[in-house]
A and B are shown apart, each in its own frame.
Chain A
């Protein structure tokens, strides 16, 4: 990494860390929390889809797994939400392996549609599963006083900010590690030419499952965070197809297969959503999605490498 890049990165990191201390208004902080959350979700999806080339359109199931793990553990007083985060991640990994085994045999569009089918099945099952609250959802009981152990902070939400920032840094770190390791090369080889990769000794199915596991675990951790942050979850908020799509959109806009794409995508889309909502008065007019949709079309047609790709091209032209 060049000196300037490193410097810029450190400055950004310092700014991010200092932000809650400098800006005490809750609204900007909440927007940043949403940006970091979606950036991490998109980063997790990016590992599977961007680097390994497996386009999953049902990723919300892992988010929901993490969220419901937290919900159940706290609502039924089983253990601390942190334990739930680990358990949720483990269940998500297990789920990914069970689904991956048959579904990774499919290629291209068949695979993508299969992930939609799985996502919808899980969604419908959750809506009908009494144990987790079915369609009514789950309220996570409020625990006072604020404590890290209970993963709940009501006095100052700043701690939530740092936790999700930590998740984002985790996501970026894991991606960076993968990029520079043998696994990363194998991911990309499987993405480009599965058969040629196999002929070189790459265990294709296992590589895909590995990507799926890492992606699922990170996504589930975000789900647990969300549950503790919002304190209410239901199938509509943590499992719908629209959430799966939104995660993809963030990554695709920013640039799949790149380290910074997901963060850039989130940094653009989330504020855009906020701006349109303010502008149109919050009547659910979905104007932000209209813009998202148009952006995605343009990106897919003109520059599949997303905003990162555009930035690279501009830099080369300059």
Chain B
């Protein structure tokens, strides 16, 4: 195992980690607002990727070009999920909360398979292709652009939550639902907005991934699991910290593959989740 290989791995892990962070951010935001884990988050990502793919397959729109559309579409899906499903289980027992979004996940994933088959699809001839070499390390341009895009989106999200009035209202609702509503904040609206933003984040991530990743109905599952770990690392509800969480997950995934066997790389990530929640339940950057 050469230094070159390790460096290659670190860079790759870092870049993917940024995408994981964006996916995790949406999940964390939703949890912070209403203590509900969106078990359909991976399927949201999958739908975003399919949306990008079909935009390319039908209208020759590059995923990067259709990105705003994908984000909007997923934002609407998030909003609809809140109003159609989540709204009714806000105060339901844990079992109902878990299985409501789980049912949605199964529904979306099998729906995708029923509609589009189980085949793998790939956007051929994307706008951004090829690779660059920096200090002996190969970096695929699509991956680089995707990571940069994820970082920018993350930055936008951060700016929105911390610098705009709506964003601050979101934070207030997350910290104390009752106090926020007493201050005149419409919590229902905030919840729906949270889901919409969470969806949009995943929409952007999906569009970016579609530039180089295979698209198929089950693709969301593994990303979702990695996202849970990233959220746990940052601390459930701590959106900015998911950046670190995502990067750590990306690095652990790659390093696990290098140190052990590529097929075992996910074990490192899951083991990491267990270690973190058992040792430091509030995550590395704990909020509570």
Contact = CB atoms under 8 A, between A and B. Distances in A.
A and B touch in the complex (CB under 8 A): yes
A270 interface: no
B239 to A, nearest CB: 17
A117 B99 contact: no
Interface string A52-67: 0101000000000000
A114 B273 contact: yes
B214 to A, nearest CB: 18
A121 B100 contact: no
B3 interface: no
A214 to B, nearest CB: 19
Interface in B238-288: 261, 263-264, 266-267, 270-271, 273-274, 277-278, 281
Interface in A94-138: 102-103, 105-106, 108-110, 112-114, 116-118, 120-121, 124-125, 127-128
Interface string B12-27: 0000000000000000
B232 A293 contact: no
A106 B278 CA distance: 7
A295 interface: yes
Nearest to B103: A296
Given A121-B270, A285-B113, A112 B98 contact: yes
B98 A295 contact: no
A284 interface: yes
Contacts of A292: 103, 106, 110
Interface string B196-229: 0000000000000000000000000100010011
A304 interface: yes
Interface string A289-306: 110111111111110100
B277 A110 contact: yes
Interface stretch (B60-68, B86-94, B128-136, B145-153): B86-94
Contact of B225 (A120, A288, A302): A120
Contacts of A285: 113-114
Nearest to B222: A120
B94 A108 contact: yes
A116 B105 CA distance: 15
Contacts of A248: 99, 102
Given A109-B37, A109-B98, A300 B118 contact: no
Interface in A257-316: 284-290, 292-302, 304
A244 B198 CA distance: 27
Contacts of B102: 245, 248, 296
Contacts of A70: none
B7 interface: no
Contacts of A42: none
Contact of A301 (B88, B105, B106, B118): B88
Contacts of B281: 106, 110
Contacts of A241: 221
B104 interface: yes
The 7 closest A-B pairs by CB, nearest first: A293-B107, A296-B103, A293-B106, A289-B110, A297-B103, A286-B110, A300-B100
6 contacts: A106-B277, A110-B232, A114-B277, A117-B229, A293-B106, A301-B100
Interface of A: 49, 53, 55, 102-103, 105-106, 108-110, 112-114, 116-118, 120-121, 124-125, 127-128, 241, 245, 248-249, 252, 256, 284-290, 292-302, 304
Given A286-B114, A293-B110, 18 more contacts: A109-B37, A113-B232, A116-B228, A118-B274, A120-B225, A121-B267, A121-B270, A248-B102, A286-B110, A290-B106, A292-B103, A293-B107, A293-B111, A298-B103, A299-B103, A300-B96, A301-B85, A301-B88
